[in-house]
Amino acid sequence: MKATDAPHTPGPDRRRLKARQTRNALAEAAVELILERGPAATTVEAIAERADVTRRTFSRHFTGKEDAALDFVRGDGERINALLRARPAGEPPLLAYRRAVRAWLADQDDPAHHLRPRMRRLLTLVDTEPALFAAYERIRVDAQEESIRIIAERLGTDDVRDMRPAVVVDAAAGVLTAALRIWARGGGDDDSGAADLAALVERAYDALISEAATAAADTSSEQ
């Protein structure tokens, strides 16, 4: 057999693309079914069937239906952390996080997953369904742990002994979480709230900075 006659073997890039497409299809199917039927009536088997894959394939990508439905949360956390790593080295940590979030929300080429159709409904459901809430919190905490490591590296410090990275990230990520919760409760089922979310996040960060400045001034006056 000539070398040119050898069967074609997909390269690593092609396999990664196929795996990503499969993962996305499963995540979309999970969101659709949970919103159509509710979490209790949605099974992993039904998600796999909707995505046209096997139950075994589902298990290669996700640990459960909640994990699949909230995969967009994981993806957004990864993007924010990538943008945080790219911020200028001399930028103060809280400002760096805020600007990373701003860039994430402003990206028109790859819009934040929160702004896709049905995401408001899903985020609202997270507050009322314990299993979804637990999965959401686990994913969110994982992303924040990575953010803490990034901030510690920027400060040239140890995130175990130095509390500053954790304090900055917990505050900055908490602001984003609060803004997202308020936005989700605002209603709507399409992406028309994109500008509203970005503006709400900016107001939330302004509120944090204002409160921190007031607290600092009050502390100084007592000394």
pLDDT tens digits, residue range 75-131?
Answer: 999 999 999 999 999 999 999 999 999 999 998 888 788 777 788 889 989 989 999
157/6: higher pLDDT: 157
The C-alpha atoms of residue 5 and residue 30 are separated, in whole angstroms, by 41
Nearest CA to 165 out of 177, 155, 178, 176 is that of: 155
CA angle 44, 47, 49 (to 5 degrees): 110
Say how many Å lie between the first and final Cα of the chain, rounded: 86
Whole-prediction pTM value?
0.84
Q: In the chain, which residue ranges form alpha helices assigned H by DSSP?
A: 12-37, 44-50, 55-61, 65-69, 71-85, 93-106, 119-126, 130-155, 164-184, 194-222
Q: What is the pLDDT of residue 2?
A: 45
Tokens representing residue 215 in the block: 């607290």
The C-alpha atoms of residue 128 and residue 81 are separated, in whole angstroms, by 28
Nearest CA to 147 out of 104, 105, 97 is that of: 97
Q: How confident is the model at residue 3 (pLDDT cuts 50, 70, 90)?
A: very low
Nearest CA to 173 out of 87, 101, 72, 70 is that of: 101
The type of residue at 195 is A
Q: How confident is the model at residue 141 (pLDDT cuts 50, 70, 90)?
A: very high
Q: Please tell me the least confidently modeled range out of 29-38, 171-180, 184-193.
A: 184-193
Q: How confident is the model at residue 60 (pLDDT cuts 50, 70, 90)?
A: very high
Nearest CA to 116 out of 80, 146, 144, 75 is that of: 75
The C-alpha atoms of residue 125 and residue 39 are separated, in whole angstroms, by 9
Entry field: residues in the chain? 223
Q: What is the pLDDT of residue 1?
A: 43
The C-alpha atoms of residue 90 and residue 28 are separated, in whole angstroms, by 39
Average pLDDT of every residue of the chain:
88
